[in-house]
Amino acid sequence: MRRLQGFTLVEVMAAVLIFMIGLVGILFVSIESMSMTKRAEYAYTAYNLAKNRLETLRAMSFDDLASAEETEVTVDESGVSDEAGNFIRSTAIETGYSGDSDLVSAAVTVSYLFKGQQSGGPMEMSTVIYNAEG
C-alpha cells in the first residue's frame, strides 16, 4: 500500500483544537494577571492613603485632633473626598489615651473598591501622638 503525503483534515482540526486550548489558557492567565496587578496597585495606594492620613494628623495642632475623626469617607487616589472614588477611609481618634491627657491615639483604616466590591482586608495603621506643648 502506498502512503499518501500530507495531513488529513482530521489531523489539521485536531492540531487547531489543541492550539486553541493552549491559547485560551494563556489568555485566561493574562487576564488574571492584569486583575491581580490592579489589586496590588489598589492595595499599595490604600497603604499610602493610610500613611499620608497619619502624617496629616501628626502635623495638625494637638487641640484639633479630636475633630479629625471620620467614618467611611469615600476618597480618590489622592485622599481627597470624592463620591466617585475607589477608596473608603475611616479615622478613629481616642483622646486621653492610656489615661494621659497629653496622648491621643489615631487609627486609620483604608479599604478599596475593586469591580464594585469592597476589599476583603482593609489597610490599618495607627499611631500615638504626644502633646509636646502641653
Contacts of residue 129, defined as CB under 8 A and 6 or more positions apart, other chains included, come to 57, 58, 62, 65, 103, 104, 105, 106
- Residue 1 predicted with pLDDT over 60: no
- Residue 55 predicted with pLDDT over 80: yes
pTM to 2 decimals? 0.79
- Residue 56 predicted with pLDDT over 90: yes
pLDDT confidence tier of residue 8, bands split at 50, 70 and 90: confident
Domains in the chain: boundaries: 9-130
Spatial contact of 109 and 77, defined as CB atoms under 8 Å apart: no
